[in-house]
Structure 1
């Protein structure tokens, strides 16, 4: 995964949205954190990993990875806003917790980040989110390709006044 490329693509999308919506200079960190939490919840809902009361299967893999990269968009955007983009690195994820536990770790990482807004808490959030990709059986290459595809969709949505 080329993290630098993804940050660049996210920056272009953010600038487009902020210009179009007249949000230049506005602090959107809290709104982006809430949006991230919502996206993580939507992702968990698609996996159905916590729905012990239901026998309905998870959404198709393509839908799950699309939901995953929706969250990644906001993580990248937060890194740009707080000027962390040039200071983070990818970890080599070799293992992760079981899916429900990993989701809980991601929620906890978001809350820790929200309290600290530090580079360390941001790196931890990114690492934990990448571990979630591993728990979902997604490779970093799959995540990157899905991010690129969804970024194009997001630009098209802006063309259509989404």
Structure 2
């Protein structure tokens, strides 16, 4: 790792390098932008092309500002559309959940009413195994070495 490794890709020039002017770069960048799909990279390249166009005089400064305002408006519209779609989906899920709860409250009269309070109904393999809530103190008291309370009790027992 002490020395620089040689690159497996060798780039050989096809001709002498030519220096592009700002206006040539602007026109080539605009041509290239037409082939790109909509993405954050395209937006950044559009902004670069706009600034090059303003610098070279190909577009007016007000045109560059208008294009930026259009980009912001499109972004806000897309954001609003996504938000509305998400809210519609949440409302739909909420309505489905309420309908499911209402169906559960109506019951189907299969004898669940005569069960004692606290009894657990088991419905084959599809049903959930409901064992109730676990409360503090339900678990058996084990001697855990990592519990600081147990260390204190042992110390007191050893002293006596």
The structure with the larger Rg is 2
Structure number with higher relative contact order (C-alpha < 8 Å, ≥ 6 residues apart): 1
TM-score interval (norm. to shorter): under 0.3
TM-score (norm 2): 0.22
Q: TM-score, normalised by structure 1?
A: 0.21
Flag the structure with higher helix content: 1
